[in-house]
Amino acid sequence: MNIQEALYIFEYICWILASVAVAYPLIYSLASLGTRKSYYPTANKQHKFAILFPAYKEDRVILPVVESFLQQHYPQELYKVIVISDHMQETTNERLAQLPITLLKANYENSSKAKALNFAMDHFERDEFDAVVILDADNIVDTNFLLEINKVFDAGVQAIQAHRTAKNRNTDIAVLDGLSEEVNNSIFRRGHVRLGISSALIGSGMIFNYQWFHDNVKHLVTTGEDKELEVLLLKQRIFIEFLDEVYVYDEKTQGEKGFYNQRRRWLATQFAQWGRVFKDLPQAILSGNIDYSDKLIQWVLPPRLILFGGIIVMGSIMQIIDWPLALKWWALFLIMGVTLCLAIPDKLVDDRFKKSINKLPLLFIMMVVNLFRMKGMNKKFVNTEKNGSSTL
């Protein structure tokens, strides 16, 4: 075998792998199409909720968020707002203490969301609540949020992911970040549950059976606590529901630096799961654990931006070397484009979106650079700075 033949074989293998990575989101994008509301009957019981707000240096946003949540149309004695204040100013803590909430003060040298959640559970008994809600310090919810969650929880669902969506579109990066989140909602959440497979978690807007969470929170040790929770749930065959109509409004990253750091942490967290994939996937398949098998396969897929850019690069190279061989790459490019079009909500395709597209080449370069700068990031807490921006 000469060098040219070896290169052609390598190119074909790359195309096969890319085809699998393109087919996966296409299937779930198709499944996500149309409107199909989830129906849960009126609850027979009003359950008691613990509302956790881990807040690391969130002085700019935490107060109005907590005040907003306290407007819930739900009996006040049946939910407790718990703010885990970490490295926040004393003036902020004093103002929080005046509200009808529980304020827990932490001051970790190496802070993380996992530590904050463990810290909160250490202060409450295992049977003190029925369910726990985890929100970020910038998250806003509708006043009927707990009423809707209570319906689902009363129906016996033990793990829930609400529909997290952008509350700001004030910069090109924020527009693209919000768009990416909605594509993920279509593929990894709505599309999944419509095919009877567990939704992905996203880090906030998560609701769990309180006793289960109290027992399992000690296993959260990295900055990818949502992925650790997914593993724990899916290994125990606990289905994760997605509530498409129950919104959690989240402030999106607004600048290139914030996007770079956030994606760097996300990439590190995803690649840190690869060892688990190769160890657990055979057993998950043999035991018929479809949800966990799907999750493990999902974690070995490249990020969309890198996949899309990689297809363009390979297609361009083959166009120069042997143009007929480039056709299969351009076919993948077309299918990937159709997949994204199916997954993007129509309401987000506006002038603001069209203007933001020119940032995509820069974001692709940043993602590629991130591939070489991930060491230790899954254990290092990187806080995404928020300033309370909202265009709601």
The closest alpha carbon to 234, from 173, 170, 180, 281, belongs to 281
Q: What is the reported pLDDT for 388?
A: 57
Are 246 and 288 in the same domain? no
Enter the DSSP assignment of 134: E
Residues 156 and 194 in one domain: yes
- pLDDT classification of 359: cutoffs 50, 70, 90: confident
The SS3 call for residue 345 is coil
On the question of pLDDT at 329 being above 90, the answer is yes
Give the orientation angle of helix 360-370 with respect to helix 172-184, to 10 degrees. Answer: 70
Q: Residue 303 corresponds to which tokens in the numbers above?
A: 């990020």
Query: 130-151: per-residue pLDDT in tens?
Result: 999 999 999 999 999 999 999 9
127 and 21 belong to one structural domain: no
Query: Rounded to a whole number, what is the distance in angstroms from the first to the last CA of the chain?
Result: 61
Cα distance between residue 109 and residue 164, in whole Å: 30
Output the pLDDT for position 306.
84
Its domain, for residue 122, covers 49-254
CA distance readout (Å), 236 to 39, 42, 157, 229, 239? 25, 28, 14, 11, 9
Q: How confident is the model at residue 259 (pLDDT cuts 50, 70, 90)?
A: confident
Question: Positive or negative, the Cα torsion across 159, 160, 166, 172?
Answer: positive
Q: Are residues 322 and 357 in the same domain?
A: yes
Residues 176 and 249 in one domain: yes
Q: For residue 17, is it within any domain?
A: yes
User: Which residue do the tokens 């319906």 mark?
Assistant: 151
In this model, does residue 367 exceed pLDDT 60?
yes
My answer on whether 88 and 233 are in the same domain is: yes
Position 269 confidence tier, pLDDT thresholds 50, 70, 90: confident
Q: Is the dihedral of CA 173, 177, 178, 180 positive or negative?
A: positive
Q: What is the pLDDT of residue 112?
A: 86
For position 102, which CATH number holds?
3.90.550.10
The residue whose two tokens read 């361009």 is 316
- From the list 322, 198, 331, 173, the residue with the least C-alpha distance to 253 is 173
Are 317 and 358 in the same domain?
yes
Establish if 265 belongs to a structural domain. no
Question: What own/partner pairs with CB < 8 Å and gap ≥ 24 does 324-330 have?
Answer: 325/8, 325/11, 328/15, 329/15, 329/18
Domain count, the chain: 2
Is residue 373 very low, low, confident or very high in pLDDT (cuts 50, 70, 90)? low
DSSP state of 45: S
Q: Phi and psi (nearest 5°) for 255?
A: -125, 165
Q: Is residue 44 part of a domain?
A: no
pLDDT classification of 374: cutoffs 50, 70, 90: low
Tell whether 53 and 179 lie within a shared domain. Answer: yes
Q: In the prediction, which pLDDT does 95 show? A: 96
Q: Quick one: pLDDT at residue 221?
A: 82
For residues 111-128, give the mean pLDDT: 92
pLDDT at 205: 96
Per-residue model confidence as pLDDT tens digits over 11-61: 999 999 999 999 999 999 999 998 777 789 899 999 999 999 999 999 999
Look at residue 314 and tell me if it is in a domain: yes
**Mean pLDDT, rounded, of the chain:** 89
CA dihedral in degrees (222, 223, 229, 230; nearest 10)? -110
Q: What is the pLDDT of residues 76-104, one digit of tens each?
A: 999 999 999 999 999 999 999 999 999 99
Confidence at residue 94, expressed as pLDDT on a 0 to 100 scale: 95
Does residue 123 sit within a domain?
yes
Shared domain check, 123 and 56: yes
Could you tell me the pLDDT band of residue 384, with boundaries at 50, 70 and 90? low
Would you state the pLDDT for residue 187? 97
Whole-number Cα distances in Å, 182 to 175, 185, 250: 11, 5, 12
Separation between Cα atoms, residue 244 and residue 277, nearest integer Å: 28
Q: What φ, ψ does residue 40 adopt, rounded to 5°?
A: -125, 130
Percent of the chain with pLDDT over 90: 63
Q: What are phi and psi of 107, to 5 degrees?
A: -150, 65
User: What's the pLDDT at 303?
Assistant: 85
The answer on 175 and 27 residing in a single domain is no
250 DSSP assignment: E
Describe the chain by its helix, strand, coil percentages, rounded to 5. 55, 15, 35
| Residue 377 reports pLDDT greater than 80 | no
Percent of the chain with pLDDT over 70: 93
| Residue 381 falls inside a structural domain | no
Please tell me whether residues 85 and 233 are part of one structural domain: yes
Same domain, 25 and 82: no
Q: Which two tokens stand for residue 385?
A: 């700075």
Cβ-contact 229, 198 below 8 angstroms: no
